[in-house]
Amino acid sequence: MSDDISSNTAAIRNFSIIAHIDHGKSTLADRLLEQTETVTLREMKAQVLDSMDLEREKGITIKARAVRMVYTARDGETYQLNLIDTPGHVDFSYEVSRSLAACEGALLVVDAAQGIEAQTMANVYLALEQDLAIVAVINKIDLPNADPRKVSAEVAQLIGLLDDEIVHASAKTGHGVAKILEAVVRHIPPPQGNPYAPTRALIFDSHYDPYKGVIAYVKVVDGRIASGDRIKLMAEGKETETLEVGFFDPELHPDSALETGQVGYIATGLKVVQDVQVGDTVTRAAEPAVSPLAGYRPAKPMVFAGFFPVESDEYPMLRDALERLRLNDGGLTWEPESSDALGFGFRCGFLGLLHMEIIQERLEREYDIQLLATAPSVEYEVLLRGGSELRIDNPSEMPSPGDSEEIREPWLDVAVIVPSRYIGAVMELVTGRRGEYRELIYLDPERVQMKFDMPLAELIVDFYDQLKSRTQGYASLDYTFKDMRASDLVKLDVLVNGQPVDALSLITHRDDAYSRGRELVQNLRGLIPRQMFDVPVQASIGSRIIARETIRAMRKNVLSKCYGGDVTRKRKLLEKQKEGKARMKLVGNVEIPQEAFLAVLSLGGDKAATKP
Amino acid sequence: MNKPALLDRHRQRLFDAPATAADPIGIYIHIPFCSHICPYCDFNTYAGKESLIPSYLDALQCETAFWARDFGGRRAQSIFIGGGTPSLLNPKQIRGLLDTCRAEFSMEKGAEVTIESNPNDVSLRYCVGLLEAGVNRISIGAQTLDRPGLRVLGRLHESDTVSSAVSAARDAGFANVSLDLIYGWPGQSIATWHNDLGQIMGGAIGGSIPDHLSLYGLIIEPGTPMADAVTRGILSPVDEDTSADFAELAASLLAAAGWIHYEIANWCAAPRNASVHNALYWRNGDYAGIGAGAHGHAGQLRTMNQPSPARYTKVVSSGESPRTNFEIIDANTDKVETMLLGLRLIQDGVSLDRFQSRHGISLEAHFGTQIAHLRDQGLLECDEHSVRLTVRGAMVANTVCAEFL
């Protein structure tokens, strides 16, 4: 990197890519890296920026990533392009807004066959709120069913872009990639910082490195930061010396300094990740800035579940693993929890269901901890009869009906984009989930955006799957928190063999309590294996039993053939059976498998309705 | 046996579990050839390789000599020729195998010599030949008498074939005839099962009642054509309750006929008809495992041979050992195996004295907690001599045995 580029703010472009899952964001990023020769062909692998195994497997981006590219444009100038990759899933919109804060522009990637999706729209609005310039890329024009003109028109109408701000491309074939780079240089403004003002750099992400401490991902808004500078983190007031600064290529690439407008990293040497808050401002200790940059709201967990180690002696391991995951994941919260049924574990808060699933998989894969997860719940506000208020995120903590005046639950602002022929199907699903219809907008003659208010608790129970299946996969969904509303909610308890199982309690609307209770005990009857004795499974509201099923005692479990050749095999088989038992939780004297604790997930009127 | 008076002391010794190093050993010979593989079978057997038989038999004789050397002069109580389909061998070939055993081992007087057979092969002439060769117990793979059942199980015989096989065995002079039956095959009803057992116990099959029955609940093993058919929805397996009904029906019909349920899957008309050879497995005893894929047990060692008959033959004829796997059984695993095998002997169970002398610790001291727990659940019964499964315990023996792991 020559000095004249790195010190010339006018030659810097910071941008991110906004795209729906599968619309080709990662492939486009790969092409940009190739075209600018940032990554040699030898190093090239699919989804360069998605380094987690899970990301490659699921084809999604979870963590934000950044990379610096050098591009010589047709005007003869050499530009420094910083691409900050962002997650596409609604659970991670928090990460998106962080990344966008470090940019002056965004590439909006839209599939030329599918058109724009609800989550993409939400992220576009986030970008527009932050005054970002937008260049639209109509991608996958090589697909046989692509309709780039129609999709261009839709994008132009929704966002109000000019023709030359819309590029037709195919990230797969490489068509249009050069045009995209030109459009970035031409339409996205350079950063507007003051190189002579006291240093201010925005931390938009971080990760923990065992050797270099917390690595802060920053955009230098004003001034500069050099390696060895003494820096101050303005929110915490913490001071430290930078061990190293540099940029992303996409690996960490040390450099002497980060100049105004540049995106890169600072190795802080700090061991406590909480000292380096994402959203905080870094300044130089010698000449501190007067006021920090506008930060942003910390991510707020919306979905809560208990994580319990299957082996209780893995509790400390689970704590360490959660601690480590939290280092790089501002959306994850947890606190110790103890359950009568499941022992000691953690009540964890997540941004959404996908987030929960990813954390669970990472704990099991990367940390090799066998986990038992309870069904997800939301956070309720309970107004007690003395006037005091209580926030609970665990159904088992719900006070008895006599003690509470009012229970409030989170409601969402839900947007669904769907071909107009599915309006009825979506309407039926949403109203069946206590949703309230608000408005319907035609995006084009065949596609509509529907808006609803809906309780979050209804959305986390299998709603997305149902939405997808009822619209043959066409619907896209976005939601944001709206408000807390009082509802007629009751706590449903489950008793197995006469013993209440706290981890199976759930909170439901009174109107649904009977059908959910019945369905839950039926599901549990199928999920809890037969024991050596009859096991009644009951659902109750307070002391009133509302449903009951009986799991009949096991009748036959024997290998009928066992001769000389079968001894080792039989012993191994029994050992395996025993291992399977060890994965279950002993509640009273009944062995309950993991799946049973998620039985509540498959509840809901929809499923019952599809039964013959 | 619960009627020791019927047995002489010598024979009773062959049912006391666990066995000890002072007890005679057994000899198992595997014939891994079939003219056709049944769709439920996951045994080590091959179709269309009958041309290998002569050289394979030579190899068996070599391996018999290895084992005799390994066992260093211990007496042998029984020979079992299993498969596959041993009845693909002619009586002369059988005699050759038995002669080798008799030459290499010192056989106990009246040693039990069993052959497994396919009903299609069991003619009067064949049975006479077997008896002359020294076979004294024949096990016939009937599987079912129900026509649709025979087809589901892929059997190439009819119920008439079973009848002729039984009458041939009787006419030739076999005093110990056993039938193998399978229950719980896809599509079986309680009525067809009742009919199978009724015909057999009524003497309608071959004009006589067999002396011994092995009744196996079908296990659909992964990788078999039957498992594939289940996966593809062509066959639906019977559920646990139906299978339990079948097992209970069999137990009550045979009990009413005065038969002895001496092992989980085995019944005999009289104590003398219980299989001494198979009992040795359940007594955690020592046996030679001869042939391709055969398993043996000698002291702390469990062995397994090369499964391919061609390779087995090649290795043995070049003077090398055909063993490809062995497992060293440590003292604790040995005690576990004593329990999970010995409890299968429903009448005799695990003897307290025998446990002490085999393992050098009392059963109470080693497994007292587990036994008490299982007894409280009504799954085990104990007295001053032995620990046994209850009737309920025998139905859920896996659950019981898992406690000892």
Would the pLDDT of A282 be above 90?
A: yes
Of B217, B289, B402, the CB nearest to A577: B402
- pLDDT, position A46: 58
Segment B203-255, tens digit of pLDDT: 999 999 999 999 999 999 999 999 999 999 899 999 999 999 999 999 999 99
Residues A39 and A48 sit within 8 Å (Cβ to Cβ)? yes
- pLDDT, position A153: 87
Residues B214 and B180 sit within 8 Å (Cβ to Cβ)? yes
Question: Out of A353-357, A452-456, A511-515, which region has the weakest mean confidence (pLDDT)?
Answer: A353-357
Of A592, A445, A572, nearest to A523 by C-alpha is: A592
Task: Work out the pLDDT band at A3, boundaries 50, 70, 90.
Answer: very low
CA distance B125 to chain A (A): 30
Task: Work out the pLDDT band at A7, boundaries 50, 70, 90.
Answer: low
Would the pLDDT of B1 be above 50?
A: no
Segment B121-159, tens digit of pLDDT: 999 999 999 999 999 999 999 999 999 999 999 999 999
- Rounded to two decimals, the ipTM of the complex is 0.90
Segment B9-32, tens digit of pLDDT: 677 888 899 999 999 999 999 999
- pLDDT, position A374: 86
Of A530, A560, A574, the CB nearest to B405: A574
Average pLDDT in the B44-49 region?
A: 93
Determine, for residues B395 and A557 on separate chains, whether the beta-carbon distance falls below 8 Å.
yes
Of B244, B281, B397, the CB nearest to A563: B281
Closest-CA residue of chain B to A576: B402
First to last CA, chain A: 68
- pLDDT, position A295: 64
Best to test chain A binding among B25, B178, B341 (most A CBs inside 10 Å): B341
CA distance A564 to chain B (A): 5
Residue B360 and residue B362: Cα distance in Å, rounded?
A: 7
- pLDDT, position A480: 83
Would the pLDDT of A58 be above 60?
A: no
CA distance B264 to chain A (A): 7
Determine, for residues A557 and B394 on separate chains, whether the beta-carbon distance falls below 8 Å.
no
Would the pLDDT of A293 be above 50?
A: yes
Report residue A319 as tokens.
């704590």
Determine, for residues B399 and A557 on separate chains, whether the beta-carbon distance falls below 8 Å.
yes
Segment B265-277, tens digit of pLDDT: 999 999 999 999 9
Task: Give me chain A's average pLDDT, please.
Answer: 84
Chain A positions in Cβ-Cβ contact with residue B398 (cut-off 8 Å): 557-559, 573-574, 577
Average pLDDT in the A522-545 region?
A: 92
A331 vs A483: which has the higher pLDDT: A483
B381 vs A: CB within 8 A: no
Average pLDDT in the A508-521 region?
A: 91
- pLDDT, position A609: 32
B327 vs A: CB within 8 A: yes
A561 vs B: CB within 8 A: yes
B243 vs A: CB within 8 A: yes
Closest-CA residue of chain A to B288: A564
- pLDDT, position B52: 96
Determine, for residues B397 and A558 on separate chains, whether the beta-carbon distance falls below 8 Å.
yes
B132 vs A161: which has the higher pLDDT: B132
In the Cβ-directed half-sphere of A406, how many Cα atoms lie within 13 Å? Answer: 10
B394 vs A: CB within 8 A: yes
Residues A167 and A137 sit within 8 Å (Cβ to Cβ)? yes
User: Which residues, at least 6 apart from A534, have a Cβ–Cβ distance to it below 8 Å?
Assistant: A550, A551, A552, A553
Q: 292-321 in B: which are within 8 Å (CB) of A?
A: 293-297, 302, 304
Backbone angles phi, psi at A457, to 5 degrees: -60, -30
A206 vs B339: which has the higher pLDDT: B339
Segment B343-388, tens digit of pLDDT: 999 999 999 999 999 999 999 999 999 999 999 999 999 999 999 9
- pLDDT, position A87: 64
Residues A293 and A203 sit within 8 Å (Cβ to Cβ)? no
Segment A548-573, tens digit of pLDDT: 999 999 999 998 889 988 898 889 88
Would the pLDDT of A62 be above 60?
A: no
Chain B positions in Cβ-Cβ contact with residue A529 (cut-off 8 Å): none
pTM (2 decimals)? 0.67
Residues A217 and A265 sit within 8 Å (Cβ to Cβ)? yes
- pLDDT, position A465: 82
Determine, for residues A560 and B327 on separate chains, whether the beta-carbon distance falls below 8 Å.
no
Best to test chain B binding among A555, A581, A590, A591 (most B CBs inside 10 Å): A555
Determine, for residues B405 and A571 on separate chains, whether the beta-carbon distance falls below 8 Å.
yes
Q: Is A366 exposed, middle or buried (0-12, 13-18, 19+ CB in 10 A)?
A: middle
Closest-CA residue of chain A to B182: A560
> Percentage of chain A surpassing pLDDT 70?
89
Determine, for residues B377 and A532 on separate chains, whether the beta-carbon distance falls below 8 Å.
yes
A589 vs B: CB within 8 A: no
Q: Count how many pairs of residues, chain A against chain B, have C-beta atoms within 8 Å.
A: 95
B326 vs A: CB within 8 A: no
Question: Out of A362-371, A543-552, B71-80, B92-101, which region has the weakest mean confidence (pLDDT)?
Answer: A362-371
Count of CB atoms situated within 10 Å of the CB of A486:
12
DSSP A191: P
- pLDDT, position A44: 59
Residue B25 and residue B37: Cα distance in Å, rounded?
A: 31
A568 vs B: CB within 8 A: yes
Would the pLDDT of A605 be above 50?
A: no
Average pLDDT in the A458-481 region?
A: 84
Task: Give me chain B's average pLDDT, please.
Answer: 94
Which contiguous run of DSSP H or E holds residue B10? helix B9-12
Chain B positions in Cβ-Cβ contact with residue A556 (cut-off 8 Å): 217, 240, 243-244, 247, 395-396
Segment A93-108, tens digit of pLDDT: 666 677 788 899 999 9
Enumerate domains of chain B plus CATH numbers.
25-282 (3.20.20.70), 331-402 (1.10.10.920)
Chain A positions in Cβ-Cβ contact with residue B401 (cut-off 8 Å): 574
Determine, for residues B340 and A574 on separate chains, whether the beta-carbon distance falls below 8 Å.
yes
Chain B positions in Cβ-Cβ contact with residue A583 (cut-off 8 Å): none
Determine, for residues B333 and A558 on separate chains, whether the beta-carbon distance falls below 8 Å.
no
Of A532, A560, A565, the CB nearest to B295: A565
Task: Work out the pLDDT band at A186, boundaries 50, 70, 90.
Answer: very high
Closest-CA residue of chain A to B282: A563
| 3-class secondary structure, A140 | coil
CA distance B139 to chain A (A): 15
Would the pLDDT of A187 be above 80?
A: yes
Residues A200 and A221 sit within 8 Å (Cβ to Cβ)? yes
A579 vs B: CB within 8 A: no
Q: 306-325 in A: which are within 8 Å (CB) of B?
A: none
Determine, for residues B333 and A581 on separate chains, whether the beta-carbon distance falls below 8 Å.
no
Chain A positions in Cβ-Cβ contact with residue B282 (cut-off 8 Å): 562
Average pLDDT in the A366-371 region?
A: 87
DSSP A456-489: HHHHTTTHHHHHHHHTTT--EEEEEEEEEEEE-E
Task: Work out the pLDDT band at B161, boundaries 50, 70, 90.
Answer: very high
- pLDDT, position A41: 55
Task: Work out the pLDDT band at A48, boundaries 50, 70, 90.
Answer: low
- pLDDT, position A160: 79
User: Which residues, at least 6 apart from B216, have a Cβ–Cβ distance to it below 8 Å?
Assistant: A560, A561, B180, B181, B182, B183, B265
Average pLDDT in the B295-304 region?
A: 95
- pLDDT, position A400: 82
Residue A510 and residue A57: Cα distance in Å, rounded?
A: 41
